Amino acid sequence: MLSDSEHRQSKRYTSTLLNTDTAVLVAHAKLGLSKETSYQELSDRPYLRLSNMGRFQQDVDYFFERQGIELDVLGEVDDFSLLRKIVENTPCFSIVPKRSVIDVKKSQNLKVIKEIRRIRLAVWAVTSSSGANRPSLQRLISDYFLRQTKS
């Protein structure tokens, strides 16, 4: 199973960290945001958030809460690819993992505004403790790492 958090509740499972990624603020070009835009200025702009309450969205919510910012939530989406597509076609902003917008230069409407290093997405492989040493699982994890270093 892939997860955004380490599984520690049971000795029956093993967690292997596969990857971490920083968050970026992305916005539709018509929103007029720039690197100089303060986080406080986002409170009156339409915001698209993740609907799943995984660790990444919890960290995003906490980040804005600590800044004292109440966001104007336009809607919720449960997938980074769909979230990106909506921001690309709707004047709004969102927070996504940097990897999900690596090819942003191909888009005229989607702009990466700034990196938010305090928010990170972790990807963990959670397996049964006995299954973690299986050669097929080890190959899968190794292949994942190889793909990550090539992209």
Tell me the whole-structure pTM to 2 decimals. Answer: 0.74
* Backbone phi, psi, residue 96, to 5°: -135, 160
The tens digit of pLDDT for each residue in 34-43 reads 999 999 999 9
Q: 15 forms bridges with which residues in the sheet? A: 126
The SS3 of residue 77 is: strand
The tens digit of pLDDT for each residue in 68-126 reads 999 999 999 988 889 999 999 999 999 998 888 877 777 889 999 999 988 887 666 77
